[in-house]
A and B are shown apart, each in its own frame.
Chain A
């Protein structure tokens, strides 16, 4: 073997501190969203100093988004495997109305009702995954169809009306015992975030999901059970969406067949916006968390400044579109830079180097 010295980047391989990519400080783009977030916060602190930087507002912002965050964290699991799950918001609805209806209408214990609701979510995930894995159909269509069926079922369960008066025990668990003035459901979401991060970065399951999402053929030829993992991904997203539904009932003490409708787009916006930060081009839980709170900061601030309710749609919609555009642009740019800096030019007499700076140009091959 010829004498090729390790570059500094690779010679420190003994520490296990970082997950695969060691470019923590080399790509400022990774922190762009956090930067914009800080600018936004400073802006609102200056513009609405009486209402924005208050404990009540902070607590409200953090707590109110827990349901969305949980939903988005479930969503990024199939997204990592390259599959869209458009049924998550419907599953949230179904789960919420099951809890409410069983508890209020049928007088079941709130805990049994919650377990049944989560099992219903698992079932939806199993059905989604079965159709996708068995018949090889694009989950985009499958989950769109199943999601619509699930909304219909929710109407049947709730008898097409709002079911309120859910056992307050549930909301006690979700809201009433705030820690550091922040509702506890926020902490549930953060714990889930940590779990998802751990699975994504540290386990074989997470890495295999990544390969399934990046290139199914490569995964298959390397012995990865592609269809099974896609199935698992869809079960996870539906199960977590059902959990989000339980949390939702806890925070509102009521549910109706329209409860989840408004969650689908924000969840996708957060997932895609999250993929532009921390780990560029990859759906990642901490990025998703930052994205969720970035979005709510903007919306809350604008509303405190006197904006109408519709600002929410404008904000979420533009965030999704901008996120997708950004993730593409930033990815290409960072690839450029990485090639330019990382390739030691004519390091060896061998000429077999990728040439040029354009990452899309695959050299002479």
Chain B
């Protein structure tokens, strides 16, 4: 990657960070894995009382940087200064965790059957021997004070499992701050949040962000790692962008557009996938239709999916939009309604029946539902095709392997080695491989559930292009997502659900982020 004007070594825009304003300074941090550089002399400065976004495509080095701070990896070179103290290298297995830096990972690390109080009382720093008696009365007072201070109204005795996703995230955040307070006294702490919003319903994210702002106002700092640029722009003060292991730049968010940041991440201008003319085949009967469909949330919903169109489905969390793909695929039990494929009713919809009728589902949770992570890429891509190529039960591995290689090449899966374990692919590449697998079955309809969740901007663009191409060739796609940007770019029409029913429908140019947000939230307010 050639050096560009946008690169500002050392975060030059800041000027020299003076002692007292910088909570964390990382200078010239480098790390290579088996000779392959993952970080090249990266600088990062986190000021006291700021929310700082850390951005970059998959493989840009964000994870490596965070993992070095957390002590999972040891850096090859570089200096780390916390609160004015230079930390001796190597950092040791606890990283900066005993020095005022707390980490909250995507999975939050909470136990469903335990209470909020139990989690907060759990001394994750383990300094005291495990037999120290816990004074539950003191702990309760401490936890209540902590929750009150950050205006989090959650009952300390509530079980984690009854909390909403955003409440869980808030518990994890407050716990991390509380642990730091206990470990280092009342000094300011730095909280590192790694993709905290991926599993949160969009309309609740603001609650988490409000909490982060309260943390900030009390002198703490936050590092937010995220793929979601809208979120990052909404809440952060400054962002640092990494690209190919190097610093691409540090910017004040004020005055930056989404486009500026995307270009900084990609190192090239963002190209929108040309939407082109609508290719909807209104002359043909719908490829798939449902009438009076009722599931857990969905109520008496009717929908038609025609060849050549991408139908977006969205709404607030709980409105039922996230249920629709699985319901149509027969992966969830419907309570009522008929599903028709190519004009014929499917009397007992199951995933198998639907696959036989060339309906495919791309689930939202790749790790849990998309692929067997411990098996190879080849095996995962072969799964729907065992028994093909030979007309029976016998597997012809040579044919399947060639097919998997073809999929990987055609859909630009990197690295293109099909004998790798699937978990070795990054999120974007996993998704491209899985889409490629289903395109290989020549589907009539592709049901997509959050197809670009946790996928970086580059891969996301490619995925949109692939879907668009297939639709132009006559396929139909249903895309359930709460990502408005995606609907604007991809959908020909958008159904907005509320209480399990379609309340609004937008077509073509009517689909904008503003119109989507207005319709979705106006319903909520009403």
Residues of chain A whose beta carbon lies under 8 Å from any beta carbon of chain B: 1-2, 4, 6-7, 9-10, 13-16, 18-23, 201-208, 210-211, 214-215, 217-225, 281, 335, 338-365
Contact = CB atoms under 8 A, between A and B. Distances in A.
B372 A352 contact: no
B64 A20 contact: no
Contacts of B410: 1
A347 B368 CA distance: 29
Interface string B46-59: 00000000001111
B424 A338 contact: yes
21 contacts: A1-B409, A4-B412, A7-B416, A10-B401, A10-B417, A10-B418, A13-B405, A20-B401, A204-B386, A204-B394, A214-B375, A346-B244, A348-B414, A352-B429, A356-B73, A358-B72, A363-B59, A364-B62, A364-B195, A364-B426, A365-B426
Contact of A352 (B225, B361, B402, B458): B458
A224 B430 CA distance: 21
Contacts of A208: 386
Contacts of B459: 352
Contacts of B338: none
Nearest to B353: A223
B379 interface: yes
Point out which of B61, B370, B371, B415 has the most chain A C-beta atoms below 10 A from its C-beta.
B415
B420 A338 contact: yes
A206 B379 CA distance: 12
A339 B376 CA distance: 12
A365 B416 CA distance: 19
The list of the 5 closest CB pairs from A to B, nearest first, reads: A365-B427, A204-B386, A345-B36, A214-B372, A365-B454
Nearest to B410: A1
Given A10-B419, A205-B393, A356-B38, 18 more contacts: A2-B412, A4-B412, A20-B401, A21-B376, A204-B387, A207-B382, A217-B368, A217-B369, A221-B361, A335-B421, A343-B415, A351-B456, A354-B429, A356-B73, A357-B34, A362-B423, A364-B225, A365-B427
Contact of A222 (B374, B384, B393, B418): B384
Contacts of A346: 36, 244
Contacts of B35: 345
Contacts of A342: 415, 417, 419-420, 424
Main secondary structure, interface of A, reads: loop
A218 B379 CA distance: 12
B63 A20 contact: no
A161 B425 CA distance: 60
B331 interface: yes
A265 B417 CA distance: 39
B184 interface: no
A61 to B, nearest CB: 35
Contacts of B383: 207, 211, 218-219, 222, 224
B455 A365 contact: yes
Contacts of A207: 379, 382-383, 386, 395
Point out which of A14, A15, A203 has the most chain B C-beta atoms below 10 A from its C-beta.
A203
Nearest to B378: A20
B396 interface: yes
Contacts, number: 228
Contacts of B382: 207
Nearest to A22: B419
Contacts of B57: 351-352, 364
Contacts of A220: 331, 351
Contact of A15 (B34, B398, B418, B426): B398
B236 to A, nearest CB: 17
Contacts of B443: none
Interface in B319-369: 329, 331, 351-352, 354-356, 361, 363, 367-369
B368 A4 contact: no
B33 A7 contact: no
Contacts of A205: 393
B405 A16 contact: no
Given A4-B412, A340-B34, A347-B414, A352 B398 contact: no
A316 B425 CA distance: 39
Contacts of B412: 1-2, 4, 350
B60 interface: yes
A159 to B, nearest CB: 44
Contact of B369 (A4, A218, A348, A351): A218
B238 interface: no
B243 interface: yes
Contacts of A364: 56-60, 62-63, 195, 225, 227, 426-427, 456
A215 B423 CA distance: 13
Nearest to B403: A13
Interface string B179-216: 00000000000000001000000000000000000000
Interface in B285-336: 329, 331
A20 B397 CA distance: 7
A355 B416 contact: no
B370 to A, nearest CB: 7
B67 interface: yes
A223 B352 contact: yes
B421 A203 contact: no
B401 A354 contact: no
A79 to B, nearest CB: 15
Point out which of A2, A9, A208, A217 has the most chain B C-beta atoms below 10 A from its C-beta.
A217
B198 to A, nearest CB: 8
Contacts of B331: 220-221
A205 B393 CA distance: 7
A333 to B, nearest CB: 13
Contacts of B100: none
B58 A353 contact: yes
Contacts of A361: 63, 67, 72
A362 B63 CA distance: 9
Contacts of B36: 343, 345-346
B428 interface: yes
A202 B138 CA distance: 63
Contacts of A357: 33-34
B64 A202 contact: no
A270 B230 CA distance: 54
B379 A351 contact: no
B368 A215 contact: yes
Contacts of A9: 417, 419
Contacts of B394: 202-204
A259 B91 CA distance: 59
Given A222-B351, A351-B60, A21 B419 contact: yes
Contacts of B38: 355-356
B426 to A, nearest CB: 4
B98 to A, nearest CB: 22
A344 B34 CA distance: 11
Contacts of B416: 4, 6-7, 10
A350 B419 contact: no
